[in-house]
Structure 1
Amino acid sequence: MKLTLTSVTVPLPMVACEEGNLTRAAQREGIAPSAVSKRLHDLEETLRVTLFQRLPNGMALTVAGESLLHHAPTTLLKIEKIAIELHDHACGIRGHVRMLANLSAIVEFLPDDLPGFFATSGLVRLDLQERPSAEVVRGIEENSAEIGICSADVGTRGLERYHYRRDRLVVVVPVGHPLSDLDQINFTDTLDFDHVGLFATSSIYLRSQCSAQQVGKAMRLRVHVPGFDAVCRMVHAGMGVGLIPDRAFEVLTEGMDLAAVPLRDDWADRELVIVVRNIAGLSVTSRLMFDHLRASCPSSQADDDGLSR
């Protein structure tokens, strides 16, 4: 494999497989065919398996070669991340934090919480990825990140979970809509109107679907959209009503003629939690981030011991 400090090129077995011919693979990599042949031979000797069948008109992967090809992209990505982190350390970056968070956390709370961390922690790099709550849990379990923030109503299995924030869902409607002057509303009373829904795996959409099914009704879903801002824009365009958290409504709807009607339903009151595999096993930098996020929680909402199970 050929590595640079910040990127990883395709390894020779993958190139040879894609080209199906040593000569074309050599031309693509800019080296002699004999060098390609020797490198592949050396790799097979090291692994003690045959990766390719040499055919009269080219070459084909063996079962062992297919296994290598299956794992190569993930392995290369991990190597690239290692190279990037080592480069950052050489440039003075003191640590990395890998975090997964659902859309609510990223839109509503992290923009307020993160600047304080970076103001006090110096040169730290944050790798933050947005995922649905269930995928946040899976990512932490699979060690894709050390810290996750997700909805408390998803199963977190063996992970440790700690209170982070609360929000409440509201129905977003255009000003002048028949629902816009209500102080509160039951979700089932919105089912006679068209809906703009979040993506199908979001916890908000799944909750709303479950609520509709419990009363034997179907949501009149006109469109799925990927985020809260898209919900607001679609509602503003007259495509239907939508569900988003109250804090997201405050952040995203300035200048729009939209109204927010709080839901009465118990499930509309939501808790977000921080999940980790083991707090004692966090890296130093990730533990600093974890402590900062916990300290950002309003004291009136935080559990006495911080642990929510």
Structure 2
Amino acid sequence: MRLDLADLRLFIAIVDTGSITGGAANAHLALASASERLRKMEAEIGVPLLHRHARGVTMTEAGEVLARHARPLLAQQQRLRQAMHAFACGQRGTLRLFANTSAMSAFLPGKLAAWMAAHPAVQIETEERTSADIVSCILAGVPPAHPLAEKEEVAFAAVLNEPLVALYQTSALQQHIEQHAAELGQALNVRVRMSHFAGLCEMVAHGAGGAILPRVIAERYRQRYSFAVIGLQDRWAQRRLCLCYQDDASLSPAMRRLLEWLRQP
């Protein structure tokens, strides 16, 4: 038996209105088309589904069974349509974002919190990754009494022999910094490693050493701790945060909405 959802929708419309004319109108079909479709349904099933009367139609026993099974199917189809519409309009889905340490700590939390509040059915998976193209505004932080504190900018090579407080080597940002030190044939002089920027800045303020961290992080924690902020002159340290994806066609509606939000100042 080959009945499609359009057949079932027409049949229920006829039953609910009590006439083939009314059912055809509700199903947005011409009367002749609706009558022909109903005839084919009855031929496919092999028994009449409706009793035709001068004042309309009533269901046969077979028609009652068909209606009883058709209604839940149509209701499920409507729920499915609504669920798929949520994906199509970007209101539902799972998005995966890779971000460097700076973006994860300073840019994404506030942006994502507001966006996710407006899109409660969208799940976002974030993962910290190393990316030389999106390392942003790396600066060196030192205690206020440090000899370098008088300078506005220094070369990265000038701080390699200084005692430093650093993130753990599992951090994408720390891996990036130490890679540039290795390219100069040196290793960082790390006294202690911390798991987060707050710990780094507090250690710097208490004279444990300098630290290399993003500008936005340094400026944020300088309001809480006392340390000088010095710019790194190296080109690799002057990076801008980028949004990277294959092409527009590869983006889901939800991802397009998120990218539009993240581009806002």
* TM class by smaller structure: 0.5 to 0.7
CA distance in structure 1 between the partners assigned to 2:222 and 2:96 by the alignment: 27
Q: Give the number of the structure whose alpha-carbon radius of gyration is greater.
A: 2
1:263-301, Cα deviation, whole Å (9 max, x unpaired): 11111111322233553233222221122223x26xxxx
Letter in 2 for 1:152: D
Select the residue among 95, 113, 128 that pairs with 1:131: 128
For 1:98, the equivalent position in structure 2 comes to 95
Unaligned stretches of 5+ in structure 1? 1-85, 134-149, 154-165, 298-309
SS at match of 1:229: helix
For 1:152, the equivalent position in structure 2 comes to 133
The structure with the largest helix share of the pair is 2
Residues 1:279 and 2:260 are matched in the alignment: no
CA distance in structure 1 between the partners assigned to 2:184 and 2:254 by the alignment: 48
CA distance in structure 2 between the partners assigned to 1:111 and 1:205 by the alignment: 20
Residues 1:220 and 2:189 are matched in the alignment: yes
Residues 1:238 and 2:236 are matched in the alignment: no
SS at match of 2:145: coil
1:88-130, Cα deviation, whole Å (9 max, x unpaired): x9xxx941342332221122222443355357x4534342434
Taking every aligned residue pair, what percent have the same amino acid on both sides?
27
For 1:191, the equivalent position in structure 2 comes to 160
SS at match of 2:96: strand
SS at match of 2:186: coil
How many residues are matched? 177
The structure with the largest strand share of the pair is 1
CA distance in structure 2 between the partners assigned to 1:123 and 1:214 by the alignment: 45
SS at match of 2:148: coil
SS at match of 1:255: coil
- Following superposition, the deviation at residue 194 of structure 1 comes to 0.9
Normalising by structure 2, what TM-score? 0.57
Using a 3 Å threshold, how does the CA distance of structure 1 residues 285 and 211 change in structure 2: closer, same or farther?
A: closer
Q: Any conservation in 2 of the 1:197–1:243 contact (CA below 8 Å)?
A: yes
Q: Any conservation in 2 of the 1:195–1:223 contact (CA below 8 Å)?
A: yes
Using a 3 Å threshold, how does the CA distance of structure 1 residues 106 and 215 change in structure 2: closer, same or farther?
A: closer
Q: Any conservation in 2 of the 1:151–1:271 contact (CA below 8 Å)?
A: no
For 1:109, the equivalent position in structure 2 comes to 107
Unaligned stretches of 5+ in structure 2? 1-82
CA distance in structure 1 between the partners assigned to 2:100 and 2:177 by the alignment: 17
- Following superposition, the deviation at residue 214 of structure 1 comes to 4.2
SS at match of 1:167: coil
For 1:175, the equivalent position in structure 2 comes to 144
**C-alpha RMSD over aligned residues:** 2.9
Alignment of 1:26-41 (within 5 A): none
CA distance in structure 2 between the partners assigned to 1:94 and 1:206 by the alignment: 36
Letter in 1 for 2:254: T
Using a 3 Å threshold, how does the CA distance of structure 1 residues 229 and 102 change in structure 2: closer, same or farther?
A: same
- Following superposition, the deviation at residue 169 of structure 1 comes to 1.0
CA distance in structure 1 between the partners assigned to 2:217 and 2:127 by the alignment: 15
CA distance in structure 2 between the partners assigned to 1:292 and 1:192 by the alignment: 42
